[in-house]
Amino acid sequence: MSLLVVGTLAYDTVETPSGKAEEVLGGAATYFSYAASFFGPVRLMSVIGADFRPEDRELLAGRGVDLGGLHVEPEGRTFRWAGRYEGDMNVAETLDTQLNVFADYAPKVPEPFADSRYVFLANSPPAMQAHVLDQVSDDAFTVMDTMNLWIDIAREELDAVLQRVDLLIINDQEARMLAGESSLIKAGRAILEQGPNAVIVKKGEHGAFLFSREFFYAIPAYPVETVVDPTGAGDSFAGGLMGYLASEDRVDEASLRAAMLYGSVVASFNVQDFSLGRFKEIERAQIDERFQEMLRFTAHP
């Protein structure tokens, strides 16, 4: 399997009802690659500054994440994000975003990564996502994330990149915004018309929908009593989903259904602590246990 992710490595400062974590390792590509590493090797492309801590680099490398596409800007500062969650743990309030080295990042896919069969374009400017698509194989299974910011300020570029990917993974609010529809079902179907072959709409603690031209699938979220920090849940979902697909090396209805459950289960671990705290405590066997539980929760006699 060859799974590539392009996105942020970051230091996050996060406040939730459970407490505060300052300058902890985060970033979309971090969560994605750690989540996917439970299933197999991952290739990572990102940019960091001189302030990126060596132990964080080692943490990812130790998980089998190939850092051959990690660019270091010796004069630069790593991406920073600060956010807060209150009451509704599904919605982050962004307090601060500092793009820093990410502002001028022009991702160049290294030659050994160009044959990647599975590609995840984490949340980043749509033009940057398009630039990566230009450099990978046309046969790759391509998946993208996006956010309200790009729907607002880069709609044309976003529409263009949507037409080039196989799967879009977004949250419910963004799906409504992108489609201009308040019904999530209408929104999912309308986005399919905009280009991707499939759309996954995440609904936080309420699970997720998958829309494709062939089938519709819905899953609940794994029931977690205390969500400590939801940061990275979306990227962990995508990492679990794509890690599983790449490990099976097959994308069809059956593998996509199982991958949705794996994505959801991996995200359920991520939200149980700040940063990668919970991921560091678990192994693949615990993911498989929760996967089986999910099957039992939705089975009928």
Q: Is 241 in contact with 263 (CB distance < 8 Å)?
A: yes
Shortest Cβ distance from residue 253 to ligand AMP (Å)? Answer: 26
Q: For residue 229, state whether it binds ligand AMP (rule: CB under 6 A).
A: no
What lies within 8 Å, CB to CB, of 168 at 6+ separation is 143, 144, 145, 146, 162, 191, 196, 198, 199, 200
**Nearest Cα to Cα of residue 287 among 246, 237, 253:** 237
Q: Which is nearer to ligand AMP, 12 or 66 (CB)?
A: 12
Q: Which stretch binds ligand AMP (CB under 6 A): 126-134, 161-169, 228-236, 251-259?
A: 228-236
Q: For residue 123, state whether it binds ligand AMP (rule: CB under 6 A).
A: yes
Q: For residue 124, state whether it binds ligand AMP (rule: CB under 6 A).
A: yes
Q: Which is nearer to ligand AMP, 8 or 247 (CB)?
A: 8
Q: For residue 126, state whether it binds ligand AMP (rule: CB under 6 A).
A: no
Q: For residue 148, state whether it binds ligand AMP (rule: CB under 6 A).
A: no
Q: Where are the alpha helices (DSSP H) in 37-183?
A: 54-62, 126-133, 148-153, 155-162, 172-179
Shortest Cβ distance from residue 283 to ligand AMP (Å)? Answer: 22
Phi, psi of 143 (to 5 degrees): -130, 140
Q: For residue 69, state whether it binds ligand AMP (rule: CB under 6 A).
A: no
Q: Using CB under 6 A, which residues numbered 5 to 64 contact ligand AMP?
A: 8, 10, 12, 26-28, 31
Q: Is 169 in contact with 140 (CB distance < 8 Å)?
A: no
d(CA 223, CA 227) in angstroms, rounded, equals 10
The strand pairing partners of 271, in sequence order, are none
Q: For residue 235, state whether it binds ligand AMP (rule: CB under 6 A).
A: yes
The residue whose Cβ lies closest to ligand AMP is: 26
Q: How many other CB atoms sit within 10 Å of the CB of residue 252? A: 10
Residue 89's Cβ-side half-sphere holds a number of Cα atoms within 13 Å equal to 19
Q: For residue 174, state whether it binds ligand AMP (rule: CB under 6 A).
A: no
Of the residues 46, 231, 247, 268, which one makes contact with ligand AMP according to CB under 6 A: 231
Q: Using CB under 6 A, which residues numbered 183 to 222 contact ligand AMP?
A: none
Which residues would be at the binding site for ligand AMP (CB under 6 A)? Answer: 8, 10, 12, 26-28, 31, 81, 97, 123-124, 149, 231-235
